[in-house]
C-alpha cells in the first residue's frame, strides 16, 4: 500500500471507536498518530416520559442517525426493536454510522452520501414518508438538521441519548508530544472547545500547530479560536479530509 503520509505526526482529537478507526486509517497511509481525544462522550438515559412517547409513536417514526455513537446509545436507550418486534427503521449519515447501525440490528433504509448531519435531511425526506423523525444525539447536537426537517413539514423529536463534555486542558498524551506534532485533526467544532480552557502559553502552542478540519463548520470554529486551518475539504466527510491531508503534506514535503 502506498504511504503518502510517511513521517507525518498527527494528533487525532476524535474520541472512542471512531477515533481509533480514523487513527488506523491515517497510520495505514504512513502517519504517526497520537490518539488524544478532546471530548468525553457518555451514554444518557432519556426521561421515562419521553421514552414512552417514542414507543407510543414508533410505527409512525423513522430514526435519523448522525454518528456511530448516537446509533449505539439509541439502542442502549430504546433497544434495537420497536414495540411490535420489528427493528427500528433508520437513515444514517456516513458509511461508518450505517455499518454500526447494521451491527446493532437496526433496519438501514438509506445512507446519506456525505458525513455531515445537514446532508442527512434530504436523504430522510427522499427515503421515508414517516411523519415523525427521531433525532438521537447529545447535549451539543447541532440544530441545523432538525430545523431543515421541520421546515420541510416533518415533526422532529430530539432524543438526548449521550452527553458530550469537552475536556479541560490539553490531553496528557498530546501535551507530551505537542512540540513534535505536525498536524491537529478536528472532526467537529465541539472537539475544539478545550482551547477555551487553556492559558495563554498553551493557546499559543496549540495555535502554532496546523489544523485539518472535517468541514467548513469545524474550520470556521477553528478560525474563530485563532487556530491555523490548512485543510478544509469542500465536500465534508472523512474521505475528503484524508485526501486534503495528503495534498497538504505533499506540498509541505516538496
Taking the domains of the chain in order of start, what are their residue ranges?
9-38+168-253, 42-164
Residue 3 has pLDDT above 90, yes or no: yes
Q: What is the pLDDT of residue 114?
A: 63
Say how many C-beta atoms besides its own lie within 10 A of residue 118's C-beta: 18
Reference 134, options 219, 203, 207, 77; nearest CA is: 77
pTM above 0.85, yes or no: no
Residue 96 has pLDDT above 60, yes or no: yes
Average pLDDT, stretch 65-79?
93
Q: What is the pLDDT of residue 116?
A: 60
Tens digits of per-residue pLDDT, 182-220? Answer: 999 999 889 999 999 999 999 999 999 999 999 888 999
Q: Which residues, at least 6 apart from 242, have a Cβ–Cβ distance to it below 8 Å?
A: 25, 26, 29
Rounded to 5°, the CA angle 183-99-111 comes to: 90
- Are 9-38+168-253 and 42-164 in the same CATH fold? yes
Hey, what CATH topology would domain 42-164 get? Rossmann fold (3.40.50)
Report the percent of the chain where pLDDT is more than 70.
97
User: Are the C-beta atoms of residues 159 and 54 closer than 8 Å to each other?
Assistant: yes
Q: What is the pLDDT of residue 18?
A: 86
Backbone angles phi, psi at 92, to 5 degrees: -115, 155
The set of cell numbers assigned to 4 is 503518502
Q: What is the pLDDT of residue 115?
A: 55
CATH number, domain 9-38+168-253? 3.40.50.10090
User: Are the C-beta atoms of residues 74 and 159 closer than 8 Å to each other?
Assistant: yes
* Mean residue pLDDT across the chain: 92
Q: What is the pLDDT of residue 238?
A: 87
Amino acid at each position: 500500500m502506498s504511504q503518502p503520509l510517511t513521517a507525518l505526526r498527527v494528533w487525532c482529537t476524535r474520541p472512542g471507536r471512531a477515533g481509533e478507526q480514523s487513527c488506523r486509517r491515517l497510520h495505514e497511509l504512513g502517519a504517526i498518530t497520537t490518539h488524544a481525544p478532546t471530548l468525553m462522550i457518555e451514554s444518557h438515559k432519556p426521561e421515562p416520559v419521553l421514552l414512552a412517547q417514542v414507543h407510543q409513536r414508533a410505527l409512525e417514526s423513522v430514526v435519523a442517525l448522525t454518528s456511530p455513537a448516537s446509533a449505539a446509545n439509541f439502542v442502549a436507550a430504546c433497544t434495537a426493536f420497536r414495540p411490535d418486534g420489528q427493528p427500528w427503521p433508520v437513515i444514517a449519515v456516513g458509511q461508518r454510522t450505517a455499518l454500526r447501525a447494521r451491527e446493532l440490528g437496526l433496519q438501514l433504509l438509506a445512507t446519506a452520501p456525505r458525513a455531515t448531519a445537514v446532508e442527512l435531511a434530504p436523504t430522510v425526506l427522499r427515503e421515508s414518508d414517516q411523519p415523525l423523525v427521531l433525532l438521537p444525539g447529545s447535549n451539543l447536537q447541532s440544530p441545523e438538521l432538525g430545523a431543515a426537517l421541520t421546515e420541510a413539514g416533518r415533526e422532529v423529536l430530539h432524543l438526548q441519548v449521550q452527553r458530550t463534555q469537552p475536556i479541560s486542558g490539553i490531553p496528557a498524551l498530546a501535551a507530551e508530544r505537542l512540540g513534535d506534532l505536525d498536524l491537529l485533526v478536528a472532526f467537529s467544532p465541539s472537539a475544539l472547545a478545550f482551547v477555551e480552557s487553556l492559558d495563554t502559553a498553551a493557546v499559543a502552542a496549540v495555535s502554532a500547530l496546523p489544523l485539518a478540519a472535517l468541514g467548513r463548520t469545524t474550520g470556521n470554529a477553528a478560525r474563530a479560536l485563532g487556530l491555523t486551518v490548512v485543510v478544509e475539504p469542500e465536500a465534508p466527510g472523512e474521505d475528503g479530509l484524508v485526501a486534503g491531508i495528503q495534498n497538504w503534506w505533499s506540498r509541505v514535503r516538496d
